[in-house]
Amino acid sequence: MSGRAPQDTPAGKWTYLLLGLTFLLSIYPIYWMFVIATSTDAALAEIPPKFLPGGEFMKNLDEVFSLQDVYFAESLVNSLIVSTVVTVSVLFFCSVAGFAFAKLRFRGSRILMVMVVLTLTVPNQLGIVALYILMGYLPGEGGWNGSLLAVIVPGLVSAFGVFYMRQFILGAVPDELIESGRVDGATTMRIYWSIVLPAIRPALAVLGLLTFVGSWNDFQWPLITLGGTDYPTSMVALFDLASGNYVLYRRVLAGAFVATVPLIILLFVGGRQIVRGIMEGAVKS
């Protein structure tokens, strides 16, 4: 045994072999989803299991999109609207609040920040019954249940976002820069816009990606408030797709694949950023 730390020891072939295996197991279900999504009904019954994709993807997709009572195309648009609005809002409100907590002095800031951190540990799913009732009382016909507002508005801010932004701004924006902005007579909003925002781009990318993925994949609350309506999100539409009396898995998985692709693209584009964000976030917390 040489006197080297693990992170300085070159990986041997066993390490690559095991990591390769881990990778294969990670990607297999997604690949299998694609295989079935591109096949005929008979593919599911093959033993040993079918390994290569077939040529039926467009046909299956066409069936998914033309199914009545599932609203698959609409659901994709709804998911896109919900996730985009939620992401933009979380980025703005959380970076603004994080900036205030990191760099501005005001009475009660410590206690309020402790509150933010505490709310991180409370799973808000546990207030789900009351949230549903609350939505019923909001203005509009029958309240907000069944409308996209019910899934958008509660997601507009996130405690994790405020916490993450505060941590990042503490480290990434020097006090001197803000002081000099003040000396030049800039308002607080001006300082946020032209000093803070450019400095926290990496954090915005990470929080944005995580928020988009989380919002896109959210299932329980959308099912409760949008289930059975004509305005599902794509996760609720997938549930509908798998709930009929006559379920065809090539169809179900074709739909599932379509709902997964946007996130795979996001991971492909922003993977480095997300990984860096997770790695840095864990060290600080």
Partner 1 sequence: MPYVLIAPFFILFAIFGLFPLIFNGVVALRTWRLDDPAQDGWAGLANFERLLTDEDFGNALYNTFGIFLLSTVPQLLLALCVAFLLNRRLRGQTWFRVSMLLPYITPLTASTLVFLVVFGRDTGVANWVLSVVGVDAIDWRAGKLQSWVAIATMVNWKWIGYNALLYLSAMQTIPRDIYEASALDGATAWKQLWRITVPMILPVVIFTVVLSTIGGLQLFTEPMLLDSNPASASGGSNGEWQTIAQLIYKVGWKNLNLGYAAAMSWALFLIIVVVAVVNTVLTNRLGGGKR
Of residues 165-184, those binding partner 1 (CB under 8 A): none
Q: How far is CA 76 from CA 66, 71, 258, 261, 269, in A?
A: 14, 9, 9, 12, 20
Q: Which residues contact 47 (CB under 8 A, 6 or more apart)?
A: none
Per rule CB under 8 A, is residue 10 in the interface with partner 1? yes
Selected range binding partner 1 among 2-10, 56-64, 69-77, 199-207, rule: CB under 8 A: 2-10
SS3 assignment, position 55: coil
Q: How many whole angstroms separate alpha carbon 60 and alpha carbon 58?
A: 6
Identify the residue among 2, 139, 183, 185 touching partner 1 (CB under 8 A). 2
Residues 181-200 that bind partner 1 (CB under 8 A): 188, 192
Selected range binding partner 1 among 59-67, 172-180, 200-208, 233-241, rule: CB under 8 A: 233-241
Q: Are 207 and 91 in contact (CB under 8 A)?
A: yes
Cβ at position 280, least distance to partner 1 in Å: 7
Selected range binding partner 1 among 29-37, 59-67, 70-78, 169-177, rule: CB under 8 A: 29-37
Cβ at position 230, least distance to partner 1 in Å: 17
Per rule CB under 8 A, is residue 94 in the interface with partner 1? yes
Q: Are 155 and 90 in contact (CB under 8 A)?
A: yes
* Residue 101 token pair: 């907590």
Q: Residue with structure tokens 């992401």?
A: 87
Q: How many whole angstroms separate alpha carbon 17 and alpha carbon 25?
A: 12
Q: Name which of 16 and 62 has its Cβ closer to partner 1.
A: 16
Identify the residue among 39, 76, 78, 101 touching partner 1 (CB under 8 A). 101
Per rule CB under 8 A, is residue 137 in the interface with partner 1? no
Cβ at position 218, least distance to partner 1 in Å: 9
Per rule CB under 8 A, is residue 267 in the interface with partner 1? yes
Identify the residue among 97, 148, 173, 178 touching partner 1 (CB under 8 A). 97
Q: How many whole angstroms separate alpha carbon 246 and alpha carbon 271?
A: 38
Q: How many whole angstroms separate alpha carbon 32 and alpha carbon 38?
A: 10
Per rule CB under 8 A, is residue 231 in the interface with partner 1? no
Per rule CB under 8 A, is residue 22 in the interface with partner 1? yes
Identify the residue among 117, 172, 186, 266 touching partner 1 (CB under 8 A). 266
Q: Name which of 177 and 223 has its Cβ closer to partner 1.
A: 223
Per rule CB under 8 A, is residue 253 in the interface with partner 1? yes
Q: Are 107 and 174 in contact (CB under 8 A)?
A: no
Q: How far is CA 1 from CA 8, 27, 103, in A?
A: 13, 35, 48
* Residue 170 token pair: 């503490």
Per rule CB under 8 A, is residue 11 in the interface with partner 1? yes
Residues 149-168 that bind partner 1 (CB under 8 A): 153-154, 156-157, 159, 162
Per rule CB under 8 A, is residue 64 in the interface with partner 1? no
**Which residue stretches of 38-108 are H helix?**
57-66, 72-103
